[in-house]
Amino acid sequence: MILNRAKNPSSEYRPIPFWSWNDKLEQEEIIRQILLMNQAGLGGFFMHARGGLQTEYLSSDWFDVIRTALKSGTENSMNPWAYDENGWPSGFGDGRVYELGLDYQQKYLRCKKATPAETVSAEHVIACYDLNGQRLDSAQINTVSELLLLYFDVNPYYVDTLSREVTDKFIESVHQTYYNTLTEDERKKMRGFFTDEPQISRNGIPWSFGYEKEYRKVYDEELLNVLPHLFFPLQGYECTRWRFWRLTTHLFSENFLKPIYEWCEAHGWQLTGHLACEENYKEQLTCNGAVMPHYRYYHIPGMDALGRNLIPLANILQLTSAAAQLGKEQVVSETFALCGWAVDFADLKWLYQWQTVHGINLLCQHLEGYSLRGIRKRDYPASLFAHQPWWNDYKPFNDMVSRLGVLLSKGEIKTDILLLHGITTAHILFDTTPESQNLIAKYSDCFENLSCLLEGAHLSHHYGDETLMELYGSVTDGKLVVGKQQYRLILLPKLMNLSG
């Protein structure tokens, strides 16, 4: 049955490229390009508003073109998907969300030594402390010559993804606009949304106005009394940092990804996409808290793979381990960006096959440019579209990829070895000093080196995330069960923490 299906894969297993809508969109040209994609063996397309777009995003003209693409795509047995933003990272609603003001904008936690006089003119002050980390009230501030001033900076061009209110506005601005504008029949032709690189922070420790209330609710402790622990190794800092980053990871999942996932479910659509900075402990910590727990809120979880080189092993095994444990049948990779204009079939083949060996079974080519006019041709090249001299020979490659997609998504995943992921060690180690971040890198390298040693010995293995193990873990017949998977051997890398 599976082999028969693999002979001529249906559209759901065929590649779904980013279709860069980057110029003035014309309906006849949209139809022409869809026919070209269909002839090349592609299974769908992500309608991706991108730099150079001349048709107003989410306008009536935009939706006229969306309707054309939905109609032509389904007539050619292809799956049209929307992309949930005008550019990236997802979440700002083409500016509609962050324009609502400070409550909606991304914020970063900062700390500096200051004199009492400096606190008078300081903006966005959260609290003041003596140099031992003890919180000072207003009457105590002038009793010290130097103090720790904690405050927040603002990025006015992105949003607070830790706030449910912010996410609701994003959904209202984009997802609900699609739903309200399209007819019931048109909605059925669209598969869902791609969400691209939503993130907590790219500039250090995040801050959100909801932290104090949530921290008190979860831990029965006042966050402001221990906030300097995030910057200095004061007594008890390990517990504070573990709690803070655990809460941060939880809020990102529950207040951003989960509402979008559940909204899509309730409205007959699916959610796919990937996170930002998935590579190692340090990168994923500030951007996501941790990446693996968030994959439960994607129908088709995914990752990013840039350049004509192999991505870190941990990058891919984090995703495919969580997907196997969560029972997610398909796992998508946005790949081939920055391979350059000279990329050929041999490059595409080895880059993607290395990913399939590790569990990827759905390809999202980055990208196909609606136009290459002007600077558009320099948008993370190459454009893997009809501009290429090899375009007429592209179908056999896409057929090969699609057959792999069928076999890998329908096959049974089984491995006996679980390697514990050490992200909570990074949570405890992290502060804003270079020394801290160098130490995190050493722990991260030890983790990935152990994973590579297993790989080199041909020992298939999954990663164990502490949050997912807490949610879905149990012991049965001497095996550790995590969701849909069972393991008989548990390996621990170099760690400082095991969450209880």
Express each pLDDT in 197-223 by its tens digit. Answer: 999 999 899 999 999 999 999 999 999
Confidence of residue 287 (pLDDT cuts 50, 70, 90): very high
Q: pLDDT (tens digit, 9 = 90+) per residue, 119-168?
A: 988 999 999 999 999 999 999 999 999 999 999 999 999 999 999 999 99
Any bridge partners for residue 270, and if so which? 192
Start-to-end Cα distance in the chain: 45
Q: pLDDT (tens digit, 9 = 90+) per residue, 367-417?
A: 999 999 999 999 999 999 999 999 999 999 999 999 999 999 998 999 999
Mean pLDDT across 476-485 = 97
Asked if residue 236 lies in contact with residue 226, where contact means CB atoms within 8 angstroms, the answer is: yes
Distances (CA, A) of 260 to 39, 59, 265, 498: 33, 22, 9, 31
The angle formed by the CA atoms of residues 325, 326 and 329, to the nearest 5 degrees, is 100
Residues shown for the chain: 500
| Beta strands, E only, 180-299 | 192-196, 206-207, 270-274
Name the 3-class secondary structure at 474: strand
Q: Which of 209, 194, 248, 204 is nearest to 105 (CA)?
A: 209
Mean pLDDT across 486-497 = 96
Mean pLDDT across 339-366 = 96
pLDDT the model gives residue 374: 96
The angle formed by the CA atoms of residues 488, 494 and 500, to the nearest 5 degrees, is 65
Q: What percent of the chain has pLDDT over 70?
A: 100
pLDDT the model gives residue 6: 84
Asked if residue 256 lies in contact with residue 289, where contact means CB atoms within 8 angstroms, the answer is: no
Any bridge partners for residue 194, and if so which? 83, 272
Confidence of residue 500 (pLDDT cuts 50, 70, 90): low
Confidence of residue 7 (pLDDT cuts 50, 70, 90): confident
pLDDT of 14 > 90? The answer is yes
pTM above 0.95, yes or no: yes
Going across the sheet that includes 332-335, the strands are 362-365, 332-335, 300-305, 270-274, 192-196, 79-86, 44-49, 18-21, 368-369
Asked if residue 496 lies in contact with residue 425, where contact means CB atoms within 8 angstroms, the answer is: yes
Dihedral of the alpha carbons of 437, 240, 232, 161, in degrees to the nearest 10:
60
Share the mean pLDDT of the chain. Answer: 96
Confidence of residue 299 (pLDDT cuts 50, 70, 90): very high
What phi and psi values does residue 333 have, to the nearest 5 degrees? -125, 120
The angle formed by the CA atoms of residues 408, 412 and 417, to the nearest 5 degrees, is 105
State how far the Cα of 309 lies from the Cα of 339, in Å rounded to an integer: 8
Question: In 10 A of CB 234, how many CB atoms?
Answer: 16
